[in-house]
Amino acid sequence: MINEKLEKAFNDQINKEFYSAYLYLAMKSKFAEMNLNGFVNWFDVQVQEEQAHGMGMYDYVLERGGKIELGAIDKPEVKSENPLEIFEQVLEHEEYVTSRINALMDVAEETKDRAALSFLDWYLKEQVEEESNVGGLLATLKLIGEDKKALLMLDKDLSTRVFNPPVIG
Ligand code: OFO
């Protein structure tokens, strides 16, 4: 059985994962407006990944005999229309999510729930990967600057990304 404080922390994080999906859905539409369909595909995969992250925790709480308490999802705000600045926001958001996963692990530690800690290890590694991928894309976008041809080449690259359902835990 999962401790009540940890159960609440998991439910909060489920909300953040679905908020992430919602935020990336909003960003996807910005790239659709720019006709950058490779970026649209990249965000599509990102949305599916975030939903899978949320569902991974959802299933885990139930598996541990806990209760699911879904909260309202905040309205996402995309702060810019510019690809580079949108990716700056993506990185900022992923860093925030990493800090929340760390905080969730603090609660698991506090409640001496080693099973939850080992489950959450997967999420921690995933965040390292996400920050690194997004950081790489951001660096490329900085190099591209105002070069439209290079931007279209990157767009073509991003059209090949596919969603592989993650095996969580
Ligand atoms: Fe859920 O991994 Fe990003 O936010």
Q: At the top level of CATH, which class does the domain 4-70+81-158 belong to?
A: mainly alpha
Q: Where are the alpha helices (DSSP H) in 34-159?
A: 37-63, 83-110, 114-144, 148-158
Protein residue whose Cα sits closest to atom 1 of ligand 1: 50
Nearest atom in ligand 1 to 54's CA: 1
Q: Which of 24, 25, 47, 97 to mutate to test the pocket of ligand 1 (most atoms within 8 A of CB)?
A: 97
Protein residue whose Cα sits closest to atom 3 of ligand 1: 94
Position 29 pLDDT exceeds 90: yes
Residue ranges per structural domain of the chain: 4-70+81-158
Q: What is the distance in A from the centroid of ligand 1 to the CA of 150?
A: 28
Position 169 pLDDT exceeds 90: no
Q: What percent of the chain has pLDDT over 70?
A: 100
How far apart are the C-alpha atoms of 55 and 137, rounded to whole Å?
27
Position 1 pLDDT exceeds 90: no
